[in-house]
Amino acid sequence: MEDKKRLSKVLAAAGVASRRASEELIFKGRVTVNDEVVFIPQTLVCTQKDQICVDNEPIQPEEKKVYYILNKPHGFICSNAPLGTKKRVTDLFTHLPFRLFTIGRLDRDTTGLLLVTNDGHFANKVIHPSSNIQKEYLIKTLQEVTDLHLKQISKGIFIEGAFVKPIRVVKVRKGTLKIVVKEGKKREVRLLVQGANLKILELSRIRIGGLLLGPIAEGDFRPMTETEKQMIFQPSTLWKRVVFN
């Protein structure tokens, strides 16, 4: 059985325009299906068989949306731009038939939880400030972490003219601490720790919202489940003891 959809919905899904704007294109006679002008937005079409054009230009059918959880390896950059000999996160996915991008960024020296997708709407929802999604980082330092270090980090710092302050800071063991932030400005966690005169040995993101990295080896990735997608927008219940707020 053919999978048919409304023409206006197909245009919107292909990124031609919004649903309403796509209807206007159809009303104005700018859309053809198999070389015939169509004026009815509710016309059912099959993207696998029908040739759909807007202003005589074929549209690209909607690509299947995919979502991955990656344990970002050290030395990789979150960019789709050509970088010469530099390694990009998306290079890890070149064997897949999708044009993927990362949701947010981790700097080259940071490892850990990174979301990769081709769904722009989902990505925008995750990174939008209104979602209030927390990110948790595990940091290993050269020196022993003291209460003075924790207090200094908890005070916050200015980054590019904006004041940022962590939500939570806690010592895990002698040379290890965890930091939770919300907005996640560029290199925020790294700068917070360095501002307390601590030398970072390892920095890894271990949580986004209620989603934990889990047992994924560095450089490996796997598909994200629907439940895990929802967990991103849920608060974590793991923090039972907080040293500083």
Domain ranges for the chain, please list them.
Answer: 5-58, 67-231
Give CA separation, 7 vs 15, 27, 33, 36, 57, in Å. 13, 12, 9, 13, 15
The CA angle 48-50-52, to the nearest 5 degrees, is 110
Among this protein's residues, is 107 annotated catalytic? yes
Q: What is the pLDDT of residue 18?
A: 63
DSSP structural state of residue 244 = B
**Fold (topology level) of 67-231:** Pseudouridine synthase (3.30.2350)
Cα 57 from chain centroid (whole Å): 31
* Cα–Cα distance list, 75 to 11, 59, 83, 229, 230 (Å): 39, 37, 13, 27, 29
First vs last C-alpha separation in the chain: 58
Reading the block at residue 47, the tokens are 């993207």
Cβ count near 10 (within 10 Å): 24
CATH code of the domain made up of 5-58? 3.10.290.10
Determine the Cα–Cα distance for residues 100 and 118; give it in Å rounded to an integer. Answer: 5
> How many CB atoms are closer than 10 A to CB 187?
16
The predicted structure's pLDDT at residue 235: 78
Catalytic-labelled residue, pool 107, 109, 119, 147: 107
Give me the tens of pLDDT residue by residue for the chain, a chain 245 residues long.
Answer: 567 889 988 887 775 666 777 899 999 999 999 999 999 999 999 888 899 999 998 887 677 889 999 999 999 998 877 777 789 999 999 888 877 888 889 999 999 999 998 887 788 789 888 889 999 999 999 999 999 999 999 999 998 888 999 999 999 999 999 999 987 778 899 999 999 999 999 999 999 999 999 999 999 999 999 999 999 998 776 554 333 33
